[in-house]
A = this chain, B = another copy of it.
């Protein structure tokens, strides 16, 4: 608990006064003021997060965390649970969507076993932070103990710190875990106060019967466990997710280090919501890459006041949306740091612009 508390205590309100300085810098570049729209907003946001008027976003890291979920026994996923370890091996070999997109945007991918149901072969590309062999079935009681919930978050903090020492300018977060839209929906329902029906979606591809079953399962889990909406650790421990806890830890650690965090889809946003409940200031350091078609995603983002960059109907997870988002964020910073000014390029300003 100490590492978690220490990390949370390091998170401070960012220096918003830098926004004005960043705006002045952007307004001197050879383009009509504000004409790069959202790109300029993002550049200002990154300046605020990092506390740096000349940030560099060269070192990009995507943390893709994997774990299994006891609730899969209730038939809440279209895929069998052996897919979780199979996909971890796919990540390590570089064949998954996240590998392709990370290569495309120049990011490395750190793959972490937070609690896959089987022992995985050791590999230099795999970090083991196993909290357990999958969680318990949340329909029958808490998915994990409070100690395990804390351990999963602190495991995430440790993973981030180890990578931070190798150099990090911006991170993306992603997930892999068959069945994990179910715990994410449970978390979303409790922490946003929206009904389960408003939140739950089809995950990787449930039919109508599967969707109805998923709603019933989550309602049952909430009835059995009665998680406390004001206590994020209680929520995480009762309704699941070693990888969700791990991602929460990564977010907290990154924000404590003033590193921008790019949020991916539904599961990553559930982790962001846990982090936000623990320390609302983390919100200021998060940039949401995209909005997924999973129903509750939009509601969670609205709850935190976050606006996604892309709307591509992506619902894969792994950090795939975050990868695309990171590239756009890097573009915004290259605009801020690489463009010529009106003066340096000898370009006339607006005819109606007053001299300074």
Contact = CB atoms under 8 A, between A and B. Distances in A.
10 contacts: A32-B78, A39-B312, A79-B348, A87-B347, A95-B344, A100-B338, A101-B334, A104-B330, A105-B331, A327-B327
A178 B331 CA distance: 25
Interface in A332-348: 334-335, 338-340, 344-348
Interface string A95-118: 111001101110000000000000
B205 A32 contact: yes
A19 to B, nearest CB: 17
A36 interface: yes
Given A32-B315, A101-B331, 16 more contacts: A33-B205, A35-B205, A35-B314, A36-B316, A37-B313, A38-B312, A79-B351, A87-B347, A90-B345, A93-B340, A95-B340, A100-B338, A101-B334, A103-B338, A205-B350, A327-B327
A224 to B, nearest CB: 26
A29 B96 CA distance: 8
A352 interface: yes
Interface string A284-297: 00000000010000
Contact of A314 (B39, B104, B346): B39
B97 A31 contact: yes
Contacts of A347: 83, 86-87, 90
A89 B345 contact: yes
Given A78-B350, A347-B87, A351-B78, A101 B335 contact: yes
Which size bracket describes the interface of A in this complex?
Answer: 35 or more
Given A89-B346, A90-B30, A347-B90, A35 B331 contact: no
A352 B31 CA distance: 54
Interface in A15-44: 29-33, 35-39
Given A87-B30, A90-B347, A35 B316 contact: yes
A37 B101 CA distance: 14
B352 A314 contact: no
A82 interface: yes
Contact of A30 (B30, B82, B96): B96
A3 interface: no
A222 to B, nearest CB: 26
A227 to B, nearest CB: 28
Contacts of A53: none
Contact of A352 (B32, B78, B349, B352): B78
A192 interface: no
Nearest to A29: B97
- Residue of A35, A79, A320 with most partner-chain B CB within 10 A: A35
B30 A345 contact: no
B313 A38 contact: yes
Nearest to A313: B37
A300 to B, nearest CB: 18
Contacts of A87: 30, 347
The 6 A-B residue pairs with the shortest CB-CB distance in the complex, in nearest-first order: A95-B340, A37-B313, A38-B312, A32-B204, A35-B316, A86-B347
